[in-house]
Amino acid sequence: MQITVHGTPVTLDTKELIVGKEAPAARITKLDGSQNVIGMIAPNSQLIIAIPSLKTEVCSLGAKKFNELVKNLKKLDTIMVTTDDIEFVKEFAKNECIDSAEIVIDTNRQFGKKFGVLITEGKLKDRLARAVFVIDREGLLAYKEIVSEIVDEVNYDACLAAIEKIVNEKKSGHTHENWMSV
């Protein structure tokens, strides 16, 4: 897959995720240095936001906007993933009062590779494309958007609509056959 960076085409790691199919699990680094896994099945639905760099205006504004948009959403874990250095991210989270989302680091680029958003060439090589992924509690990908031009913002309305749908969805669960009846 290709996106553009200021109009110049760049290639992404070609892992194609399909809405309705199982989301991958990826190891990330939390700001305290510990490792965690995101994606896949979880107690809450997940909104995973891939951020190229919080050092840029569009990324910084997007992170702050998502932080506000998800403030009142229950049963949703919001995770912002970046490749920025951990000290800068800690300072950013503190200064910008990011409190409705967890910012994590894709230290080994495992998230970028597994979710197909790792930029493989150009001046942003080894950074993440701007993208959002919504994963339901069963670990299924409910929504994805990989922004075609890195300086553009995501479609917040479509993303929020997908979140509302899965957070409010009542799953019927597995039903058993009535094999004991006559």
- The tokens of 30 are what? 């939390």
Kindly report the backbone phi and psi dihedral angles of residue 100, in degrees, each rounded to the nearest multiple of 5, phi listed first: -100, -5
Report residue 158 as tokens.
Answer: 């479509």
- Which residue of the set 12, 51, 59, 118 is catalytic? 59
H-run or E-run covering 53: none
Looking up tokens 């031009």 gives 149
Decide if 56 contacts 48 (C-beta within 8 A): no
For residue 46, list its beta bridge partners.
77, 135
- Beta-carbon contacts of 167 under 8 Å, excluding residues fewer than 6 positions away, are 45, 73, 74, 75, 76
Please report, for residues 34, 37, 64, 145, 160, the alpha-carbon distance to residue 61 in angstroms, rounded to integers and kept in the order given.
Answer: 27, 26, 5, 18, 17
Name the helix (H) or strand (E) containing 141. strand 141-146
Amino acid at 166: I
Check if 59 is active-site: yes
Active-site residue list: 59
